[in-house]
Structure 1
Amino acid sequence: MSSDALRMTQSDMFSWRMEQNPILRSTVVAVLLLDASPDWDRFLTTVERAAQVLPSMRRKLVPDLGLAPPQWVDDPDFDLSFHVRRLDALHPKNLQGVLEVARTKAMTAFDPARPMWEYTLLDGLEQDAAAAVVMKFHHSMTDGVGAVRIAAEIMDFERAGTAREPMPAADVSASGPSMIGTIGWYASSGTALVRDSVSTMAKLGARFLIRPIQVVRDVAGTALSVARIVEPVVTTASPVMTDRSTRRHLATLDVPVDRLAAAANAGGGTLNDAFLAGIVLGMREYHRRHDAQTDQLRITMPVNLRADDDVTVGGNQITLLRFAIPCDIAEPEKLIDRIHEIIVNWRLEPAVPLAEPIAGALNMLPSGAVGAMLEHVDFLASDVPGSPVPLYLAGGKILRQYAFGPTIGAAFNVTLLSYVGDCCMGIDVDDAAVPDLDVLVESLTLGFREVCDLNSA
C-alpha cells in the first residue's frame, strides 16, 4: 500500500474540518444493550485483536507539512486502556442512564493526539438490560456501514464465542508525514489530474464528433447537478425547529422490521422510503402540536457509495444529499410512493459519483460558509443494515443496538439500525431546535404507527 493511501480523503477531511464548529461535530455513538455483563478479560482480548486486524483503530491524524491533506499515522503511544473503559452504571440504572452517558460522549471532542474511537462498558444495570456498551467513533475514521463492520470484529454468533482466523500480518506501517511524501502527493495528484482530464477530454471529444448536442447537454446537466447538491440553504423550512446549539439529547424508538417492510411494499417503495415516511408523518404531528404547519422539510440523507463487494471499514464512502421532502401528503401509501420517486431521482443525479471532487471544493471554503449550508437543514435520516441474527459480546447477548448519528447542523438525526426483527432507531436532537424531546418521540411514534398500519388497513 502506498503512503498516499493513508492520506485523508477529501470526504474524510470534510468531516474532520467540521470539528472547527461544535454544532457540526461529526461523532457517531452506538449503544449495545446486553442480557449479561461481558467477561472483562475476554472483552479486552477481543478488542485488542480487533485493533490489530483493523489498522485504522491504531492510527491518528497528523497535519501535513504543506497544504496536502492530513495523514493517518500509527500512534506510537497507542494505549488500549485509554480507548476501552469499564464503569459502574450511573443512576438511573436503565436505558435512560445509558443514554445520558452516550449523549455526553457525543458532545465531547476527541483528543486529536490519539485514534478517534472508544468503547465504554457500563455494568450493573437494573432495568432494560444487565449491561451496556457505548461505542464512539469519529466520522472521518469511518462511515455508518464501516462502523458496523468495525463493531462486528468484537461480536460473536454464539455466547461461548466464535472461532476466528489467526492474526494477520500488518498490511502497512503508517509513518508520519515527510517533505518527500508531501512532494510525492503533489506530483501524484497533479499527474492524476492531468491523466483524468486528458482521458475525459478525449472521451468527450470522440463523443462530440458523433453527438455534439448530447455532449453539451450532458456537461451542462452535470454542472447543474453539482449546483443542486452544493446549493446554499439560508432558511429553515420548519417554522418551529429554527434554533441551533451544541446541546444534545438522545432517545430511542423501535419498530418491527416486518411491519415496516410490509408497509413499504404496500406503498410501492423500499424500507428506507417507509422509514422516511414515518419521520415525515411524525413531523406533521409535531408541527400540529405546535400550532404550525409546513408543506415541506429539508433533509440530509447519506448515500452509500460502496460497491457490494467492498469490505473496507475505514473512511467515508458516502455522499450527503440535501433535498426537500413533502409534508402535505397525509396518506401513508401516497407519501411512500412520492418519497420513492424523489429518492430514485436524486440517486440518479450525475453529480452523485463526484463526491470526492465536490468535497474537495467545499474544503476550500471557510468552515463558517460550510456551516451556513448545513445549519438550515431540518433533519437528517440514515438507514444502516445490521445483523438479522442474534449476536453476542464476550458472553453477553445483545438485546438491542442503537446508532446515534451526528446532527451536523440539522435539528435532529434519526438513524435506523436493523437488528434481528427490529428497526432500532437512535434519535439525536439539538436541544435548541427540539426542546421537548418527549413530544418529538411521541409524534414520531404516531407517525410510524400510521405507516405500519398501512398494510393492515
Structure 2
Amino acid sequence: MPDRLSALDAALLASDDPATPRHVGSVAVFRRPRSGFDYARLVELVQRRLPLVPHYRQKVAAVPGRLARPVWVDDPDFDVTHHVRRSALPRPGGDAQLFDLVARLMARPLDQTRPLWEAYLVEGLAHGHVALITKTHQALVDGVRTVDFAQVLLDESPRAADDPEPAWRPRRQPGPLRLLADAVTDTLLRPSELVENARAAVSDVVAATGRVADAVTDAVGITQRGPLRVTVGRARLFAVARARLGDLRAVRAEHGGTVNDVVLAVVAGALRAWLMSRGEPIAPVRALAPVAVSDAPRVEPHVIDLPLAEPDPVRRLRAISEAMGEHRHSVPAAVLRRMGGLQSLGARTAASGRGFTLAVTNVPGPQAPLYAGGARMTEVFPVMPLVRDQALAVGVTSYDGGVYFGLTADRAALSDVDVLAERLGDSLAELVKA
C-alpha cells in the first residue's frame, strides 16, 4: 500500500507559500568535546540515524489530476550533503549574528521536489561553541509517526553507540500510471479515502478563499488591526530570551497554577510593557496556547485572552490560571518524550491562524544534559512559523534547568522584537519579586 499523506499534511503542503512557509525549526548550541565536532562528524551522525526516520529520505509525489492525496516515495537522488550544510560566523560570533542567520534561513521555503528538511552546522561561535539549526516541513513532522530529526540526533550520554548503518537502496519511484492505479485501489479497499481526498481538496479551497476573504475584510475595515495583526511579508527576525526553570517554579509555588500559566503570564507582561513603549493601546490579546493531552499523542487547541490591561503581575497570573483551569491536563514527562515533535504539533494546531492573534507553544523538555556526537547541548530555542496576518509566534521549551523563549517575527512589523524579548526577562522579574 502506498504511504499517502494525511488530509492535514496534504493541506499544509498545498498552503505553503513564500510569505508563510510551513516549516518549524530549532537552534541548539553545543559545547565542542575535546575530541572535536565538525561537519564531517555531523554528516556521519545524520547518516547513522536516518534509518530511524524513513521519511527523511523520501519526497512527495503528486497523483496525476489530483485524484488522490500525494504519497511519500524514496528519493532516488537523495544526497545527505544537500540537506546537511555548513555555515560560519565571523569569529567570535555572538547571539546577534547567530539569530540573524536563523531568521534568514527560516525565511526561505523548503524545496518541495526533495525531502522536506534541512540542517545547518554553524561554526565560529564564541568559546569554540557550534550551533545546529534545523528546519522541517510540518507535513513531514507530525510528532507521532515522524519526529523532528533534531530529536533523534540527541543522546543521553556523550558515548552513545550506534548499530552499523544498514545499506539503503531507494525503491523504484512509481510512474503516473502506478500512482493512479494505487489511488483507485485505495479507494476500493478503503472507501473512507473518498472522504479524506475530499477533505484535502476542501482544505485547499478554504486556504485560497480564506486569503481572499481576509483581503475583503481588511478593505472594508472590519478586522481590528494592530502591531501583531498585519499582512506578513517574506523577511523575518528572530530573538530569544532565557530564564531559569527554578524561578518559574518558585512563582508557581507562591501563587498557584502551573508552570505553563506562569509562561503565559510572563508573555502577557512583556507584551503589555512592549506595547506601552510603542505608545500602542493596551487591550487583551487573544492567544492560542496548545495543550498536550496524555490519553493520546496529540495537542488540543485552547484560546485565551491574555489580560494585558491588568497592571498587577500577580492578578494577571491568577486570571490566566483561572482561564486555563478547565483545560488542565496532567501529562507525564515520559509521555511528552514519546510525543516527538511536540512543537510541530503545536504549530500544526496554529496553522489556520483563525480566531487568535498570537500562538504561544510551550513544550517541557528533558532536565538532564543531552549530547550530539559527544558534544553537549547547552541551550535550545524553538523557531515557530508565522501564519497569514500574524506577525509574531512564540515558542518556549525547558531544558536542563533553563527555559528558552524563541520569538519569530515579521521583519517589517516588529523591527523592535529584540525589545519585546528583553521585556520577557523584566516580566518574569516582576513575578519573582511579587
State the TM-score, normalized to the length of structure 2: 0.78
Asked if 1:391 is matched to 2:370, the reply is yes
Partner Cα distance (1:333, 1:190) in 2: 54
Aligned to 2:149: 150
Residues 245-283 of structure 1 deviation map (CA, whole Å, 9 limit, x = unaligned):
222101110111121123234333221111111111111
SS of the equivalent of 1:252 reads strand
2:287 touches 2:304 (CA, 8 Å); kept in 1? yes
2:110 touches 2:116 (CA, 8 Å); kept in 1? yes
Aligned to 2:323: 342
Task: Provide closer, same or farther for how the CA distance between residues 186 and 240 of structure 1 changes in structure 2, counting only shifts above 3 A.
Answer: same
**TM-aligned CA deviation for residue 149 of structure 1:** 5.4
Q: Which amino acid aligns with 1:277?
A: A
Q: How does 1:370-409 map to 2 (within 5 A)?
A: 374=353, 377-409=356-388
Residues 294-315 of structure 1 deviation map (CA, whole Å, 9 limit, x = unaligned):
331122333446756x5xxxxx
Partner Cα distance (1:343, 1:165) in 2: 45
Query: What value does the CA root-mean-square deviation take over the aligned residues?
Result: 3.3
Aligned length: 382
1:416 touches 1:424 (CA, 8 Å); kept in 2? yes
1:294 to 282, 286, 298: 282
Structure 1: segments with no counterpart, 5+ residues: 195-229, 311-316, 349-369
Partner Cα distance (2:383, 2:146) in 1: 12
Q: Which amino acid aligns with 1:162?
A: A
Aligned to 1:117: 117
Task: Provide closer, same or farther for how the CA distance between residues 346 and 386 of structure 1 changes in structure 2, counting only shifts above 3 A.
Answer: closer
Aligned to 1:426: 406
Asked if 1:183 is matched to 2:180, the reply is no
2:91 touches 2:124 (CA, 8 Å); kept in 1? no
Task: Provide closer, same or farther for how the CA distance between residues 279 and 145 of structure 1 changes in structure 2, counting only shifts above 3 A.
Answer: farther
Partner Cα distance (1:341, 1:167) in 2: 51
Task: Provide closer, same or farther for how the CA distance between residues 167 and 303 of structure 1 changes in structure 2, counting only shifts above 3 A.
Answer: farther
**TM-aligned CA deviation for residue 40 of structure 1:** 3.7
Partner Cα distance (1:53, 1:265) in 2: 40
1:448 to 422, 428, 433: 428
Partner Cα distance (2:243, 2:147) in 1: 20
Q: How does 1:40-439 map to 2 (within 5 A)?
A: 40-65=39-64, 66-90=66-90, 93-126=93-126, 130-143=129-142, 150-159=149-158, 161-165=159-163, 176=174, 178-191=179-192, 239-244=226-231, 245-304=233-292, 307=295, 317-318=298-299, 320-345=301-326, 374=353, 377-409=356-388, 410-439=390-419
2:48 touches 2:162 (CA, 8 Å); kept in 1? no
**TM-aligned CA deviation for residue 140 of structure 1:** 1.4
Report the more deviating stretch, 142-151 or 419-428: 142-151
**TM-aligned CA deviation for residue 189 of structure 1:** 4.9
Partner Cα distance (1:340, 1:113) in 2: 45
Aligned to 2:26: 30
1:106 touches 1:136 (CA, 8 Å); kept in 2? yes
Q: How many percent of aligned residue pairs carry the same amino acid?
A: 25
Partner Cα distance (1:343, 1:145) in 2: 26
SS of the equivalent of 1:19 reads coil
1:123 touches 1:130 (CA, 8 Å); kept in 2? yes
